[in-house]
Amino acid sequence: GAVVSQHPSRVICKSGTSVKIECRSLDFQATTMFWYRQFPKQSLMLMATSNEGSKATYEQGVEKDKFLINHASLTLSTLTVTSAHPEDSSFYICSVSRSTGVGYTFGSGTRLTVV
Amino acid sequence: QKEVEQDPGPLSVPEGAIVSLNCTYSNSAFQYFMWYRQYSRKGPELLMYTYSSGNKEDGRFTAQVDKSSKYISLFIRDSQPSDSATYLCAMSTTSGTYKYIFGTGTRLKVLA
């Protein structure tokens, strides 16, 4: 299966600033990566599907201009939270489809706190 | 009604107990059923998956799917403190979509 590296693991930023989160597929060429958001005691919510070389596909209710996704290579996708607000504080996780085709390999997640 | 329902717990059991974790679902088109384990502040890791109905065993873990009842279970035998984590179920249809639907996760604590 894939090995997925996600950075940073934790970040604290001020309201109004932007934060970039990186997701790397270390041993697998990922044409598609996925970005999830997880609130405490809630399920993983798919935010968007990141497609290499093309625009991301966002889920309903997710603001495209706020959560910018770039998938410039087969091994790297980035999520930028723009003009962050305290309500954006959450746990963000990326994932890659497993080579077996069933299930994902997840990154270790990024805890974002906006103060 | 949510597509996937899972009791959030927490569930506390003594070491060595048999643990039963469950999810119910409403979409009869689901064909792939997965269980993930998530330690605190980490991403989920896939424990096992099952296609359609039936049982699957892997060491101390057994996954069961009852499609007639739209009910899936994960059993952990001889539970260990290291099993303490949140367990999430996830499901998808056979349409080739990558959109897995996750349960909220059940927090499990195995007491030494």
Q: Per-residue pLDDT for chain A (115 aa), expressed as one digit of tens each?
A: 568 999 999 999 999 999 999 999 998 788 889 999 998 878 889 999 988 888 899 999 999 999 999 988 889 999 999 999 999 999 999 998 776 667 788 999 999 999 9
In chain A, which residue's Cα lies nearest the Cα of B103? A43
- Report the sign of the C-alpha dihedral through residues B15, B17, B23, B29, in that order: positive
Nearest CB neighbour to B42, from listed A1, A43, A108:
A108
CA distance B9 to chain A (A): 9
Ramachandran angles phi, psi of A100, nearest 5°? -75, -15
Q: Which residues pair with A57 in a beta bridge?
A: A49
Mutate which of A34, A102, A111 to test chain B, going by most B C-beta atoms within 10 A?
Answer: A102
Residue B90: list chain A partners with CB under 8 A. Answer: 103
In chain B, which residue's Cα lies nearest the Cα of A39? B104
Residue A42's CB is within 10 A of a number of other CB atoms, namely 14
